Amino acid sequence: MLWLAGAAAVVTVGLIALTEDTGTTNITPTATQAAQDDGAARPLQAQPGQEEKTTATPAETFGIPVGTAIVHQDGGDVTTAVVRSVKTHRQGCNSLDVDPKQGMYVVVDVLVTQTKGKGSVNPLDFTFVADDGTSANSLSSVFSGCDDPSLDATDLRAGQKRAGKIAFDAGMKAGAVEWAPGGFGADTVGSWTTK
């Protein structure tokens, strides 16, 4: 009976150690991502066979330009997200004619890639925070029709990608799109500035 209690303790300690190894880094291996060097952001050219370059601190993943990748590592799982574009619509985009209550729909085109391990993607992982401090999630514009084709919620395996649009009912375009992998209650790991 004692060996069973000892095995349970070892498993518990091992699981705690695995869950504490989380972090977020901004990796810049492709030409579409920006590097912070001497205060200027500029594209990088990836060299064949070159290791990914980690620019490391979590502070570097907030307020970054649209088109820049944010890489989130949770244990052995690595997920990358990129907001590829931002557009606005002053009225609904389908036959339901659901106009925005806050003034406009801010629509972002997102690409999420599971680089290593397993993960998931969900439009609710993303929140728009306007410069005036108001925030909106994807539920704020669920009937707008402006998010076609929409980013679907799904589980991902290593190498899988999902792309789609997310619409937010907001009062202005200026602000930031925040990413919190894991949805409601998860920590925000980075944000893209919108203008």
pLDDT at 58: 56
Cα dihedral sign, 116-118-71-148 = positive
Q: Is the predicted pLDDT of residue 27 greater than 50, yes or no?
A: no
Q: Is-above-0.95 flag for pTM? A: no
SS3 17: helix
Q: Whose CA is closest to 43, among 51, 34, 52?
A: 34
Mean pLDDT of 86-110: 96
- Domains parsed from the chain with CATH numbers: 22-30+54-194 (2.60.40.1240)
Q: Which H or E element spans position 83?
A: strand 77-89
Q: Is the predicted pLDDT of residue 18 greater than 60, yes or no?
A: no
pLDDT at 34: 37
Q: Is the predicted pLDDT of residue 189 greater than 60, yes or no?
A: yes
Q: What percentage of the chain carries pLDDT values higher than 70?
A: 70
Give how far Cα 36 sits from Cα of 14, 23, 39, 41, 68, Å. Answer: 37, 19, 6, 5, 11
Q: Is the separation of the CB atoms in 55 and 35 below 8 Å?
A: yes
Q: How confident is the model at residue 59 (pLDDT cuts 50, 70, 90)?
A: low
Q: Whose CA is closest to 26, among 41, 15, 16?
A: 41
Tokens 């699981």 locate to: 15
Q: Is the predicted pLDDT of residue 113 greater than 70, yes or no?
A: yes
pLDDT at 182: 87
For residues 24 and 28, give the distance between their C-alpha atoms in angstroms, rounded to a whole number: 13
Give how far Cα 6 sits from Cα of 18, 33, 82, 151, Å. Answer: 19, 48, 45, 45
In the predicted model, what is the mean pLDDT of the chain?
78
User: What digits encode the pLDDT tens for the residues 128-156?
Assistant: 999 999 999 999 999 999 999 999 999 99
